[in-house]
Structure 1
């Protein structure tokens, strides 16, 4: 039973890492290949996603299922920023209080989409939230009695 729990936890940890890694590659592609300059909120989200890719890769390699202690807070802060950005993008939060400068790219502009209209802030929110859920399942999986 313990081996099965460990195997399941490792696959969940791998899935969390893949999400962080692919999200990091995706924003690099959008910025560097497609030439879309990230707004202020995008930069903050990147600041929380990029380290997740590294931390979760090391945790997978070492089978460190206690990684949730530091990865969940990191993903949680990223999710809060992505939620703020999403609410700003959809118009719930007024543009006058957005952190983006008048000279830089807009946090709520039409160029905040990819693949025919998917909002980048919403995709970031989904990625951060999924990572949190997977890591909490890893945590719960490790606490189950054998």
Structure 2
């Protein structure tokens, strides 16, 4: 398999993850009517553009997408990790939205006692980051 073909598969995988994550986010807010907290909004700021950016990169087979999509995924993942810590670590007090109407330490969903929306977002950002980490630009 050529480097270009491998890159396209990795970018397409990252794009699919971003689509699923964005769809899940919209499902919880628009269908289930969960009001996003402040950290949820920050995570959306980093996830939603990845759908468009990675989609275009997949279409054109552009490995240079790694330069700007990987930092977005890493920052978004860091926010998700902070959000999950606020939800699951006892005594870890909310930092970003303690005084907002929707506190960040409230988990609207808690599947199996540990899967929250923040963990789902962290998983998506991690998968995107790993895929983009292995994308390599082709030499001259």
Note whether the superposition's TM-score is higher than 0.5.
yes
Distance 1:114 1:25 in 2: 19
Cα gap change, 1:101/1:67 in structure 2, threshold over 3 Å: closer, same or farther? same
Asked whether 1:47 is paired with 2:40, we answer no
TM-score by length of 1: 0.86
RMSD: 1.9
Distance 2:3 2:12 in 1: 14
Cα deviations by residue, 1:113-144 (Å, 9 ceiling, x for unpaired): 265652111111111111011001112xx46x
1:21 to partner: Cα distance: 1.0
Match of 1:81 in 2: 79
Asked whether 1:108 is paired with 2:110, we answer no
1:5 to partner: Cα distance: 2.2
Distance 2:17 2:110 in 1: 17
The residue correspondences of 1:90-105 to structure 2 (distance < 5 A) are: 90-91=88-89, 94-95=92-93, 97-105=94-102
Cα deviations by residue, 1:81-122 (Å, 9 ceiling, x for unpaired): 111101111125622x432244522211131x2656521111
Distance 2:37 2:105 in 1: 9
Match of 2:13 in 1: 15
Contact 1:45 1:82 in 2 (8 A): yes
Match of 1:131 in 2: 128
Q: Which consecutive segments of 4 or more residues in structure 1 shift more than 3 A? A: 114-117
Contact 1:87 1:93 in 2 (8 A): no
Contact 2:107 2:117 in 1 (8 A): no
